Structure formats: structure tokens, C-alpha cells
Amino acid sequence: MTLSSTVSVSLGERSYKILIQAGLLSRLKGRLSELAVKGKVGVVTDRHVARYYLSGMLRQLKKCGVDAVPIVLPPGERSKKLDTITHILDVMARHRFERSSSLFALGGGVVGDITGFAAAIYQRGIPFIQIPTTLIAQSDSSVGGKTGVDHRLGKNLIGAFYQPKEVWIDPLTLRTLPMREWVAGLAEVIKYGIIADEEFFSYLQREMPGLLKRKPDIVAVAVKRSCEIKAQVVAADERESDRRRILNYGHTIGHALETLGRYESLIHGEAVGIGLVQEADVACFLGACDRSVVQRIQAIVQAAGLPDRMPQWTAAKIWKAMLHDKKVSGGQVVGVWPERIGHVGMMPIDEPTFSQWHQTLPTLTSGKSLSRKKTV
């Protein structure tokens, strides 16, 4: 893989670089020196990622004179809870971490969110570095400073905006990603084309077979362009007061489905895949876009191998889960709705309207086309 590039996130004194380099994790000495990493470093990872990358990371840190402390967590969304944060803080306190100490998030989106939140609250904030090893994390969650954990009533309800010191993306780590996780990651990549770049969306349509085969040059374009779009959005609206909300497209319904499934039946990218299609369908129902937009989105989601059908929960259950999401304002859900490929808008939706839309859903198994006509 020849990929080597840098994307900047411009946030004044909180600005940082996203370094994208094949083999980066095998040559960290220069980065550690430039960032003046010293003292203790807690390397937070999960058991799956640790099997492939933890020992190499610890060896490099030791060679550079860094006192590394591994913190290995159970894998999966169910680790994304306050008990896990308490565990990380306990380890840091026992090893006498100081404000000059750091945390490294070595893993996927769950590890990154947890590590960033622990870094944000330990001694009121210590540096942390994102080292994403999944497609979702490399293309989306490692960038932007959203950190936190889930609550039993909703996803990501507890957390903080806290920017990393740097993001180190080594695309070679994607070679060990299970196929289900790889496909799930494509949902976030597709999202960026829908919300901000029709040309990128068309590229993904053409190159989806190569993406599914993990062809290096195609993956390089997908990761870099996703990071570029997110960096631009975050630089314009760091704390999600306005424009950054467009990044929530696919996540309003998606997060509700994750919560209802207790983070077991659907992994994050699968839920977002459903959200991309179904929220486009809501947009069409509301008159925000043409049916052709929904069909294009569903076609690419299906081509990626992602689910696109609503599970058989009632509208009332889904709405209740949506109300526990942070996208709620004044009792209404503020949704992000595609108006055309490459552009989205935001508007609230109330429960009666959502229920009316839900009643129009066909009782189908996955894979069938959303070709029905708008009913209201």
C-alpha cells in the first residue's frame, strides 16, 4: 500500500494532524519524539486487537524509554460503560499517572471513545492519541473529539468533547479486520458521500467491488476523503452547535436500533446502514428529496452488503429510543435528511409524523427495494 498523507484538523490551539501511513505502527520513534511523549503511557485496547498489535506497540515504547502500561478490555459495545471508565482510572491511579502522562487508544471506535473520555476526566485532562485499527474508526470516529460511553437508556449519553493530540492511521491494520466489521465500516464511508460529496459517492458506487476486496489504493482514497470531510466539518463546528450535526445522518434511527438490540443484534455500522436508507425514506416522505435519491442510497448500501431493512419493532418503541438520543430538542427529534446526493438538511420530526411514515413501511425481509410511492 502506497498510501501516505496528512490531513489537518484546524481548531486553533487544539489543532492536530491525522497521519495516514502504511506501516506507521512499526516506526513510531519519530512521532513519539516530535510529540514529546514522556512518562507513563497507558495503552488501552481490547483482547482482539491486543492479539495482533499490543506486544509490538509495547516493545517500541520501551525502546523509546516510555513506561507503558497495557489496559486490555473485553471487546465490543458492551464495554462502553462507566464501569469500564472506572477500571481505566483505577489502573492509572495505581500506577501514579500524572498530568504529563498519556493514553493511547489502540483499537476501534469503542476503544477510542472510552479512552478519550478517560483522558478527558483524569486529573481534569491528560493527552491522548488515537490509533484506530478498524474502518469505522479510521474513517470517522477517531477524528473530531467526541468521547464517551453508553447509558442503558441510550447510546453516547455520557461523554465530553475532547480532542486527541494526534491521530495515527496505519491502513495495514485493516488486513486483520473481520469481514463483518469491514462491511460495517463502509456505512460511515458511504455517509460522507451522501452528506457532502456527490463525486465521492459516485466513486464509491463504481469502486465498491474493490472496496469489498480491500484493494489498497481504493481503501486509501476512501479513508483519506472521509477524514478530509470530517475535518472540515469539525473545524467549522467543533461542539456540534450547527453544521456538525450533519454527521449524525443515519445515526438517528441507527442509534435507536442499536439501543433496542442491546448492542448485540446489530453492530454500529450495520445499524447506520439501515439508518442511511430509512432516514432517506423519511426524507422522501417529508418531501425533502425525490424517490430516486432513496433508491441510489439503498443500492449502494445493498452493494456494500449492509442491512437496509427496519427490524420488526413498533414505531412507539423506536420513537421512545430515539427520544433518549442527544439529537432531541424540545421533545422533537432533529433529523438530518438528504435533499440530494452530496447535500443534506436538518429539520425536526414529531411522533405522529414518524408513526405515519412507519405505517408505510412494507412488511418485507431484507434486500427488497423501497420502490413504493410517497403516501402523504
What is the residue whose three cell numbers read 411514515? 357
CA gap 59, 67 in Å, rounded: 11
CA gap 349, 283 in Å, rounded: 10
User: Which residue type does 148 have?
Assistant: G
- Res 222 pLDDT > 60: yes
pTM for the structure as a whole: 0.91
Cβ within 8 Å of residue 92, ≥6 positions away? 42, 69, 101, 103, 118, 122
pLDDT at 362: 79
Q: Which of 3, 92, 75 is nearest to 40 (CA)?
A: 92
pLDDT tens, 303-349? 999 999 999 999 999 999 999 877 787 778 999 999 999 999 999 99
Number of neighbours of residue 151 by Cβ within 10 angstroms: 15
pLDDT at 330: 76
Q: What is the dihedral of CA 75, 81, 85, 87, to 10 degrees?
A: -70
Domains of the chain: 4-176 (3.40.50.1970), 185-359 (1.20.1090.10)
pLDDT at 369: 41
pLDDT tens, 157-194? 999 999 999 999 999 999 999 999 999 999 999 999 99
How far from the centroid of its chain's Cα atoms is residue 249's Cα?
Answer: 12
Catalytic residue annotation: 124, 146, 188, 230, 240, 244, 248, 251, 255, 268
pLDDT at 331: 73
pLDDT tens, 274-312? 999 999 999 999 999 999 999 999 999 999 999 999 999
- Res 367 pLDDT > 90: no
Q: Where are the alpha helices (DSSP H) in 175-312?
A: 179-196, 198-212, 216-236, 251-260, 268-286, 291-303
Helices then strands, each counted (H, E), the chain: 13, 12
Q: How many CA atoms lie within 13 A of 2 on its CB side?
A: 2
57, 43 in Cβ contact below 8 A? Answer: yes
Q: Tell me the three state secondary structure of residue 167.
A: strand
pLDDT at 207: 98
What is the residue whose three cell numbers read 438538511? 345
Q: How would you class 214 by CB atoms within 10 Å of its CB: exposed for 0-12, middle for 13-18, buried for 19 or more?
A: middle
pLDDT tens, 61-114? 999 999 999 999 999 999 999 999 999 999 999 999 999 999 999 999 999 999
pLDDT at 1: 43
> What is the strand order of the sheet 332-340 is part of?
328-329, 332-340, 343-349
CA gap 273, 265 in Å, rounded: 14
Q: How would you class 348 by CB atoms within 10 Å of its CB: exposed for 0-12, middle for 13-18, buried for 19 or more?
A: middle
